[in-house]
Structure 1
Amino acid sequence: MNRTITSYQPGTRCPLDGIRVLDLSRLVAGNMVSMQLADFGAEVIKLEPPEGDPLRHWQTKGVSAYWKVYGRNKKSVVVDLKTARGKEILSKLIPTADVLIESFRPGVMEAMGFAPEQVQGMNPRVIFLRVSGWGQTGPYRNKPGFGSLVEAMSGFAAKNGFADRPPALPNMALADMVAGLYGAFAVLLAVREQERSGLGQVIDLSLLEPLHAILGPAAADYSLTGVVPPRSGNRSSLTAPRNVYATAEGKWVALSASTQSMAVRLFQAIGRPDLITDARFKNNSDRLRHSADLDAIIGSFILQRNLPDNLNFFEEARVTVGPVYDVSQFQEDPHVLERGILVDVEDAEIGVLRMAAPVPRLSRTPAALRKAAPSLGENQAEILGPLETSTEEHFKGHAKPQKQPQRGRASLARRSLLYIPALAERYIERAHERGASSIVLDLEDSIAAENKNAARQALASAIEILRSRHVDLWIRVNNHPDYLELDLSAAIKDGVAGIVLPKVEGEHELQRVSALIDQLENSAQIQSGSVRLAALVETPKGVAAVQQLVSVKRLAALAFGPEDYATSMGLEPTLRVVSYAAHSVALAARTADLEAWGPAGSIAEFKNLSRFRRTIQVSVAAGFTACFCIHPEQVKIVNQAYEPTAKQVAWARAVVSAFTDGGSIAVDGRMVDQPVYQRALDILDRLLRPR
């Protein structure tokens, strides 16, 4: 059968489309994981050091064959994690990812500032796969994790080889490959949970445990017998006959007659029916005890014929044999050719490269070869571009439809805003670990009147702590004549993103506060206009004035306070009671291209997370771009609510890729016009925003 050259099909749809994987791993195990995911459609981005993944340097006649095979369907970006810039890039990419893979020595990611809790603070839904030789725990965690050492310690080498020779290591990266398959399976399990709960998790994958797990019930057998079985070469300790036998021309055939009926059939086929009743070979236990004698009989028969004749003879006799192939023989076998087990793909360097086709074969959602292994840094602009440019500039090659300037758009990374009392030193110290997009230090409701001065005095050190940790920091001040100016004087410092002004009821309040901030910025030598303002609407009068509030230049967001609003109406803050006011605030903010901060209901019962989840769902539907929280558990729910699903991302990418300015198109049988296109852009915008 003639071979055909396979062209890469970049547009082929696959089942893991929409899942983004950041792969920091090196060499084999991690690349095996990410190749499996990439073959089935995941967007795998190899984040490589300046010298490239060491797998690139495993070469055959100057060709990086390993990389070309295990780097297929992936993208490459150079990121030097030894530099501050490299760490910054990774911290911006993590929020865009569904999966993060690393294979450093345990502790390295922590030392770089990417411990699991820090990574999940950047992206609560990310699945963090950690590949190492011995695992993240245990006394051997810091030992070199080379696969050869694992293959030795796991018990594999002790089982492999012949009793009169040394234990035999495999001549391939077996431990890495097995771990890679387990790792891909684990990622898909975690993706399933991610789809259900919106949360990621850490996967601790050692090379040791998967390899030991495939060795059969060795531990169970030993616990029953107390005996360590000797190496048995090509024989089996369970059934006989089972071995490889030389043919007349010096090739080899493998034979396994593991059942009684097959053994009887074999004896009859080789003209030795007497062996059926021979006491040495009557049953499997007898044959195991006399396997050397049996091998001699079978071997002498097979040695009289060449490989093709042996295969034909035993096939006609319906005896289970097969050829022992090397790679040259395997690739010419008619079964291999007809099933396309190997494919010849186009290669820019050498013309054509042969490799194994993706497996396993799915009938409805198969894998695909969509792109060749990338050159080092090939996708630098494509992947890093969105970190510096707008969503559409990245996903499309043309200008965005003209819209009014978007005053709040630059800060739309905010999803969750966590209130922390300004005197809560212990909580402030750990605020950066809570996963919130922003921290709001509170000088208002959570601080009693007698403690207001102490809270202002504590503010300077709190701001410095959070500034050093690059927190998006806001201060809620008291909108009261006795406190307002004192609060602002304490709050306007370098590192403060903005002021939350509560109980706003008119434009003049905002203008006055904006003017005060101007003066304080000048006194503190802070760039004019850098401290933004969020108007917290908490009364019926404030709701009635929202259309006027949005005219204030410094304003970045309109926020809604359901508790105080309902109280001012003499009602409970149920979703129904506050619905009109919440929608009015959100609509006014979005109309003016400002951020809209909710929620659209009570957050006071912080232990009732199911009710809070429903409140946040309603808030998102109402158009709020972010929501306040008063407890870290609420932060997770808010972040999840604003996270686009893999299905949404896949749809949005398909829409943006297909859309042209010429008019409507169809994607998946659904009409796509300008509004639908804009919604797709918004989904991708949410995906690319850092959390």
Structure 2
Amino acid sequence: MGPLDGITVLELGGFIAGPYAGQLMGDYGARVIKIEPPAGDPIRNWGVMRDDIGLWWPSLGRNKESVRLDLRDPADRAVAAQLCSQVDIVLENFAPGRMAQWGLDYATIAKENPRLIMVHVSGYGQDGPRATDRGFGSIAEAMGGLRNLTGFPDRPPVRTGVSLGDATAGLFAVVGALAALRERDVSGVGQEVDVALYESVFALTESLLADFQLGGVERSRAGSALPGVAPSNVYGTEDGHELLIAANGDSLFQRLCTAMARPDLLDDPKYQTHQARGANAAVLDSIIEEWTSALPVAQLEKLLDEHGIPRGRIYTPQDILDDEQYAAREMVVRMPVDGLADPVPMPGVVPKFSRTPGAIRHVGARLGEHNDAVIDELGLAPQAG
């Protein structure tokens, strides 16, 4: 019985941002009914495939019921409208205006279901001069200011390696939905929640604008370092690993110098204060890497742990699968999938609840697997095919 047990979510749309929000709400115990077009959500066939099964779908589609409807068909739209009138949350990530074209907009549905919360996820939001432009997570990362900060200063901006713009928007969609649910407990009525991908990314940029407009400092790409904060970087080891060490505080730096057997650094004016270390980060990093490159990673980790210095190996997938902390927290969950001989590993539920834990009840469903059951609930005749 997760914390959202008793809440029903209708998910419309595809790809990543909206469905990721639906996945999270399903993890927390909500009943999530996913409306898919006749060909299914494109994510079913994205990314790495094994035995003609996309390995992304079991996780992104987990804890959801699949109902196949063609929203271009008036009869199927009528079914969708009935579903909208009965659920707590409608989560959609179509282009702004599409729901109104189908008669599924909030103003229409709320007449029948005034407690409805409708969460919109789109590239640029529901209004403004670019509202109807196509938006993707990568574009949001660019427009939101993140890509300009990612990578090395002498090279073009880089992607982070995951769909960060989409995932961030999905997280804000869940936050907005939960806040609206809380307010509905007070007012008794629902509302719309408008999530823009570019705004979700921009919300992560800390004091970016203040630094620029008031401080005269324009943040830029700084590689693996944290500008003005040192030591906090990635250092190579004797056996070819990479280790991130964060000793960017006076007491932490003192302990690092002890671990390195370099007390002389504490007497050097270039490293005696936080500001001085930040100004001389490049030289300090080279001194630290000279030390780390002479030791194997396991020995370095043990030494840093003994001195209470935060450190983290740059993990590969195999490191994650082998890690005792991941195992202890049950963060790698292996789920059986029809058609695959081996279970599919995927991230567990985040966060953890002490009394009403979330759960992965099942992996992504077959396309249209729940059509008859859901249609029967509405009191309609089962669909043909």
Where do 1:324-403 residues align within 5 Å? 324-351=314-341, 352-388=343-379
Match of 2:62 among 66, 72, 75: 72
Match of 1:34 among 16, 22, 43: 22
CA-based RMSD:
1.4
Q: Residue 449 of structure 1 corresponds to which residue in structure 2? A: none
Q: How big is the shift at 1:343?
A: 1.3
| 1:243 counterpart = 2:228 | no
Count of residues in Structure 1 that have an aligned counterpart in Structure 2: 378
- Is the 1:134–1:145 Cα contact (8 Å) retained in structure 2? yes
Q: Residue 137 of structure 2 corresponds to which residue in structure 1? A: 147
Where 2:270 maps in the other structure, the secondary structure is coil
| 1:21 counterpart = 2:9 | yes
Where do 1:474-489 residues align within 5 Å? none
Identity %: 35
Where do 1:174-253 residues align within 5 Å? 174-253=164-243
Q: How big is the shift at 1:110?
A: 1.4
Q: How big is the shift at 1:365?
A: 0.8
| 1:277 counterpart = 2:267 | yes
| Cα distance in 1 between the residues matched to 2:315 and 2:377 | 49
Q: Residue 111 of structure 2 corresponds to which residue in structure 1? A: 121
Where 2:10 maps in the other structure, the secondary structure is strand
| Cα distance in 2 between the residues matched to 1:45 and 1:342 | 25
| 1:254 counterpart = 2:258 | no
Q: Residue 148 of structure 2 corresponds to which residue in structure 1? A: 158
- Residue by residue, what CA displacement relative to the aligned partner does 1:340-359 show, whole Å, maximum 9, x if unpaired? 11011222221411111111
- Is the 1:237–1:288 Cα contact (8 Å) retained in structure 2? yes
Where 1:131 maps in the other structure, the secondary structure is strand
Q: How big is the shift at 1:318?
A: 2.1
| Cα distance in 2 between the residues matched to 1:389 and 1:22 | 18
Match of 1:50 among 14, 18, 38: 38
Q: Residue 447 of structure 1 corresponds to which residue in structure 2? A: none
Match of 1:292 among 282, 290, 295: 282
Q: How big is the shift at 1:86?
A: 1.4
Where 2:290 maps in the other structure, the secondary structure is helix
Amino acid at match of 2:186: R
Where do 1:563-582 residues align within 5 Å? none
Where 1:130 maps in the other structure, the secondary structure is strand
- Is the 2:139–2:198 Cα contact (8 Å) retained in structure 1? no
- Is the 1:152–1:169 Cα contact (8 Å) retained in structure 2? no
Where do 1:93-104 residues align within 5 Å? 93-104=83-94
Where 2:127 maps in the other structure, the secondary structure is coil
Q: Which has the higher contact order (CA 8 A, sep 6+)?
A: 2
Q: How big is the shift at 1:241?
A: 0.6
| Cα distance in 1 between the residues matched to 2:267 and 2:69 | 70
- Is the 1:94–1:122 Cα contact (8 Å) retained in structure 2? no
- Residue by residue, what CA displacement relative to the aligned partner does 1:634-670 show, whole Å, maximum 9, x if unpaired? xxxxxxxxxxxxxxxxxxxxxxxxxxxxxxxxxxxxx
- Residue by residue, what CA displacement relative to the aligned partner does 1:659-688 show, whole Å, maximum 9, x if unpaired? xxxxxxxxxxxxxxxxxxxxxxxxxxxxxx
Q: Residue 645 of structure 1 corresponds to which residue in structure 2? A: none
Q: How big is the shift at 1:238?
A: 4.1
Q: How big is the shift at 1:171?
A: 2.2
- Residue by residue, what CA displacement relative to the aligned partner does 1:583-641 show, whole Å, maximum 9, x if unpaired? xxxxxxxxxxxxxxxxxxxxxxxxxxxxxxxxxxxxxxxxxxxxxxxxxxxxxxxxxxx
- Residue by residue, what CA displacement relative to the aligned partner does 1:465-518 show, whole Å, maximum 9, x if unpaired? xxxxxxxxxxxxxxxxxxxxxxxxxxxxxxxxxxxxxxxxxxxxxxxxxxxxxx
- Is the 2:123–2:134 Cα contact (8 Å) retained in structure 1? yes
| Cα distance in 1 between the residues matched to 2:308 and 2:351 | 28
Where do 1:663-674 residues align within 5 Å? none
Amino acid at match of 1:310: L
Where 1:101 maps in the other structure, the secondary structure is strand
| 1:88 counterpart = 2:78 | yes
- Residue by residue, what CA displacement relative to the aligned partner does 1:204-242 show, whole Å, maximum 9, x if unpaired? 101111211112111122222122123211111242111
| Cα distance in 2 between the residues matched to 1:53 and 1:268 | 55
- Is the 2:66–2:367 Cα contact (8 Å) retained in structure 1? yes
- Is the 1:91–1:122 Cα contact (8 Å) retained in structure 2? no
Structure with greater Cα Rg: 1
Amino acid at match of 2:369: E
Q: How big is the shift at 1:115?
A: 2.5
- Residue by residue, what CA displacement relative to the aligned partner does 1:514-548 show, whole Å, maximum 9, x if unpaired? xxxxxxxxxxxxxxxxxxxxxxxxxxxxxxxxxxx
- Is the 1:72–1:369 Cα contact (8 Å) retained in structure 2? yes
| Cα distance in 2 between the residues matched to 1:318 and 1:191 | 42
- Residue by residue, what CA displacement relative to the aligned partner does 1:18-66 show, whole Å, maximum 9, x if unpaired? 2111100211111111111111111100000000011111141332221
5+ residue gaps, structure 2:
none
Amino acid at match of 1:20: T
Where 2:161 maps in the other structure, the secondary structure is coil
- Is the 1:280–1:286 Cα contact (8 Å) retained in structure 2? yes
| Cα distance in 2 between the residues matched to 1:143 and 1:306 | 51
- Is the 2:23–2:61 Cα contact (8 Å) retained in structure 1? yes
Amino acid at match of 2:256: L
- Residue by residue, what CA displacement relative to the aligned partner does 1:113-160 show, whole Å, maximum 9, x if unpaired? 222211212311110111001111111112211111111111101111
Q: How big is the shift at 1:265?
A: 1.1
| Cα distance in 2 between the residues matched to 1:59 and 1:151 | 20
| Cα distance in 1 between the residues matched to 2:354 and 2:5 | 17
- Is the 1:29–1:179 Cα contact (8 Å) retained in structure 2? yes
| Cα distance in 1 between the residues matched to 2:305 and 2:163 | 34
| 1:60 counterpart = 2:48 | yes
Amino acid at match of 2:258: Q
Please give the TM-score of this superposition, normalised by the length of structure 2: 0.95
Q: Residue 470 of structure 1 corresponds to which residue in structure 2? A: none
Amino acid at match of 2:62: R
| Cα distance in 2 between the residues matched to 1:252 and 1:303 | 10
- Is the 1:154–1:208 Cα contact (8 Å) retained in structure 2? yes
Where 2:214 maps in the other structure, the secondary structure is helix
| Cα distance in 2 between the residues matched to 1:170 and 1:377 | 34
| Cα distance in 2 between the residues matched to 1:228 and 1:59 | 36
Structure with higher helix content: 1
- Is the 2:65–2:369 Cα contact (8 Å) retained in structure 1? yes
- Is the 2:137–2:164 Cα contact (8 Å) retained in structure 1? yes
Amino acid at match of 2:370: N
